[in-house]
Structure 1
Amino acid sequence: MAVSFMCLSGLVEETATNWTLGAFPTCKALHQEEVIKGDAKQVLFNDGSNQELCGFQSSKVVIQSFLGGGKYEALLNAWKSQIQLVDSVVHCCSSELCPGHLPCNLSSLPIKYTGKFWAATEGAFDIAVFWAEFFLLEYLNGNPQYAQGQLGVSDLVDLYRMAVENIEIMDDHFASRSFESTMASHILGTLLQAAERKPIPGLSHSQNTKVVYMAGHDTNLILLRLLLGLRWQSHGWAQNGVAPGGMLIFELDGGEQRQEGGPVVSIYFQVAQPAQLREGQPFSEPQAPSRVQVAITDCPGDPFACPLDAFKKMVISKLRPECIGIPALRDLVENHGAGSVPWPAQYWWTFLLTGQKSTAAVAF
């Protein structure tokens, strides 16, 4: 059982080893951080700091159109009720923060464009997003009181939609090709390696690997969803929510039931419901997390069981090879043939991407 990592910071080692502790409690070899290894230069996600790779394709004009332009009244009005709800709890603000506006509250704070990939603005919307996330984490962490005892769980879930929207302003369809091409090519390469049963350069796990685990940012999940044209609706969360611990799962099935048509790819989104996270509830069949199958809408075949060859062509068509930070995977995307993929008589393979705080890959 091999284990390999590609990571951005030390935080992911703890995330991944705790995941293996829960997923494989009897396999003690996977519970130690010293088994984690990888090439720190071959990161799966360009956070914008790597000047040798692609930056934002979105021009300021494009971003301004998403924000509503001008003084951003459109953005403010679109989330007015949520911002006012947050303000009813935090009771913002001191008068010096709102020159010329009284009373001074969250809605009165001027909005400015910042250009940061994790937050396009500062001011009313961005501050409301901060408090929305804070209230939700208070609840999920099991605090006896959250949001000053003034909001219900449905309010927290609704407010959390602002956090996803805040990221998507910058991490949009344009940015997804720039920043997520490396990770998408890694997923594709892993699926092809498992099907072809031969090593593919650029991957640190072998062709015999059955599961690859990656701990990543919520931005990774959002960018990958936008890149591949995916959507999901999980129980307890808003549409396309990327709640803590949410997993985007890619499964490759080449078992006997697929012998005639070749291996197929299916995608699932899995996340615990809010109360399950708050209570630290152990999962069982009667108390399973929310798991929904995600349609691969651009697949020319079955969107819920997409032929691997069709999936390969679809993914490659969406990538920018020059944005792929692992040279061997860039070569794979540029040079991989369009023919059918050979596959063995029977196998099952799973890839999991979990939204956390950094990016890592674990294979075993």
Structure 2
Amino acid sequence: MRKTGILSLASMLVINAAAASSSWQLEKVVEIDRHSVRPPTVGNQKAMEAGSDRRWPAWQTAAGELTAHGYQAAVNHGRYAGESARESGMLADGCPDDDAVYIRASPLQRTRATAEALAEGAFPGCKVPVHVASGYDPLFQSEHLPAAALDPHKVHRATLQAAGGDLNTLQHRLRADIARLQQAVCQPGKPCPTFAQRWQIEPGGDGRASIRGLRDMADMAESIRLAWSNHNPLSEVAFGHVRSADDVAALLPLLTINYDLTNDVPYIAQRRGAVLLDQVSKALQSEATANAPPATRWLVLVGHDTNIAYLRTLLGFHWQLGNYPRGNIPPASRLVFERWRDTRSGDRFLRIYFQAQSLDQLRNLTPLNAQQPPLEQEFSPEGCEKREPGMLCPYSTMMTHLRAAVDNSATTQVEYD
């Protein structure tokens, strides 16, 4: 059970007593976080304006960088996660020692700032360091890794297969979703080039496929979601065409389809997610291993939605949270791996879940607690059982599954400071 706010001494004693009486011990948490709310990148902004033939609202924050609102949303997430870790007995009160937590972020500003916000929320006043690689980081930016290069012919075939073999048929099947987004972003009676395009597979700049037409629609949907989440004026969210979270959610399905044809393509995920999944699986091992992350109880890796998408594809983990469309990866969301031990039998288990704030929680900066928890869905493949901590999967079985999903030819050694 999770509580909110600063716990009184009496409440803490109750929690500690409950933790002591339970036979379940949380030994390790590894989580991969998406950065929090940002404006569109420069490239996104140009593409959206060209595709809709109109100017999109300007933001006060520099393109692609974390907003002040996004920072506070990440603080809320960090505070909730930190309180949960302490209530489980995994972490002690106060500032963490060197064995407790290690936080690493992708080098971009929005990920570094999100990591700092998470640390502030989880450990207020403690100034927990955020580690960032010099140069590119293979954990989060595997597109720069020669070993993870993609074969363009395989990418094309795999993308077409993910589309069901025919992009024209897919585009026609999604005509209602396309029309809904078109009504929100296009001016009546004026050109709106993106919506007149026939979808086609094109090479992307990082080796992945890009779907001409769909790509820009997905950027538009994402930018609408970000503007809502940042509490921008309603006149600047979908040009005033939305009034509620449900209205925003109705414009997001094309974002899911774009995931289906890019990050969630198994061949692409296998190559581009190998380094990160390899490090996650090594971090979860109960015994020390070479080329592994620091052996802290809580390992926080702050990256991008693409990183989470690769891992969930390799796992075969599918979710649908609240009114978000299936597979959505909102700002400040996290994919979490927990290693539990039954102290009576000595058996270990893994619990895996995805957690995110709702559209309204993000927009309103709702404090997260037992009364207002984040949205959450557990991974529940065959062989897992519901126990006191949640949906638990046998440790050895799940570790075998994780290791088997790693393409070792696409991995590399990762340096930690």
Distance 1:274 1:138 in 2: 11
Match of 2:323 among 236, 242, 250: 236
Change (3 A) 1:281 1:118: farther
Residue of structure 1 equivalent to 2:359: 274
| 1:109 pairs with 2:226 | no
Of residues 174, 178, 197 in structure 1, which corresponds to 2:267? Answer: 174
* 2:162–2:260 contact (8 Å) kept in structure 1: no
Letter of the aligned partner of 1:114 in structure 2?
Answer: E
Q: Tell me whether 1:248 sits opposite 2:343 in the alignment.
A: no
User: Match for 1:211 among 264, 276, 298?
Assistant: 298
- 1:186 corresponds, among 259, 279, 291, to 279
Residue 60 of structure 1 is aligned with which of 144, 152, 156?
Answer: 156
- The separation in 2 between residues aligned to 1:322 and 1:6, in whole angstroms, is 24
Q: Secondary structure at the match of 1:254?
A: strand
- Residues 243-276 of structure 1 show CA distances to partners (whole Å, capped at 9, x for unaligned) of 11111111111142xx425111001211111111
After TM superposition, give the deviation of residue 170 of structure 1 in Å. 2.3
Q: Deviations over 1:14-43 (max 9, x none)?
A: 1111111112214x231x55xx25565662
1:290 to 2:379 alignment = no
The structure 2 residue matched to 1:51, chosen from 122, 130, 146, is 146
Out of 247, 250, 260, the position equivalent to 2:345 is 260
Which residue of the other structure, out of 156, 159, 183, is the alignment partner of 2:248? Answer: 156
Which residue of 94, 113, 129 corresponds with 2:218? Answer: 129
Structure 2 CA distance for partners of 1:68 and 1:37, relative to 1, 3 Å = closer
Q: TM-score, normalised by structure 1?
A: 0.75
What residue is the counterpart of 1:78 in the other structure? 173
Residue 107 of structure 1: how far off its partner (Å): 3.5
Cα displacement (A) at 1:112: 3.1
Tell me what 1:349 maps to: none
More moved, 276-285 vs 229-238: 229-238
Counterpart-to-counterpart distance in 1, 2:216 and 2:139: 30
Give the residue type in structure 1 aligned to 2:254: M
| Separation in structure 2 between the aligned mates of residue 283 and residue 301 of structure 1, nearest angstrom | 28
Give the letter aligned to residue 175 of structure 2: K
Q: Distance in 2 between matches of 1:8 and 1:38?
A: 7
Q: Distance in 1 between matches of 2:221 and 2:249?
A: 9
Deviation at 1:280?
A: 0.9
The answer to whether the Cα contact below 8 Å between 2:159 and 2:262 also exists between their aligned partners in 1 is: yes
3-state DSSP of counterpart to 2:336: strand
- 8 Å contact from structure 1 (residues 54, 178) kept in 2: yes
Deviation at 1:8, TM superposition (A): 4.0
The AA in structure 1 aligned to 2:118 is W
Q: State the 1:68 CA deviation.
A: 5.6
Deviations 1:214-268 (A, max 9, x none): 1121111111111011122322322222111111111111142xx4251110012
Q: From the superposition, tell whether residues 271 and 157 of structure 1 become closer, same or farther in structure 2 (CA, over 3 Å).
A: same
2:123 to 18, 24, 30: 24
- Corresponding letter in the other structure for 1:166: N
Q: Offset at 1:61? A: 2.9
Partners of 1:90 and 1:7 in 2: CA distance: 32
Q: Distance in 2 between matches of 1:217 and 1:37?
A: 14
Give per-residue Cα distances to partners, 1:70-92, cap 9 Å, x unaligned: 6x322321321121112212226
Structure 2 match to 1:89:
184
Number of aligned residues: 307
Give the AA of the match of 2:224. F
Q: Structure 1 pair 78/325, CA: closer, same or farther in 2 (3 Å)?
A: farther
Structure-2 separation of matches of 1:108 and 1:10:
35
- Distance of aligned partners of 1:174 and 1:148 in 2 relative to their CA distance in 1, 3 Å threshold: same
RMSD: 2.9
Question: Residue 147 of structure 1 aligns to which amino acid in structure 2?
Answer: A
The one-character-per-residue Cα deviations of 1:286-335 (angstroms, maximum 9, x if unpaired) are 1111122221x2x655483122211121112222111112279xxxxxxx
- Separation (CA, whole Å) in 2 of partners of 1:163 and 1:119: 15
Secondary structure in 2 aligned to 1:44?
coil
Where 2:353 maps in the other structure, the secondary structure is strand
- Please name the residue that 1:356 is paired with: none
- Equivalents in 1 of 2:222, 2:395: separation in Å? 38
Q: Is the 8 A contact 2:155 2:209 kept in 1?
A: no
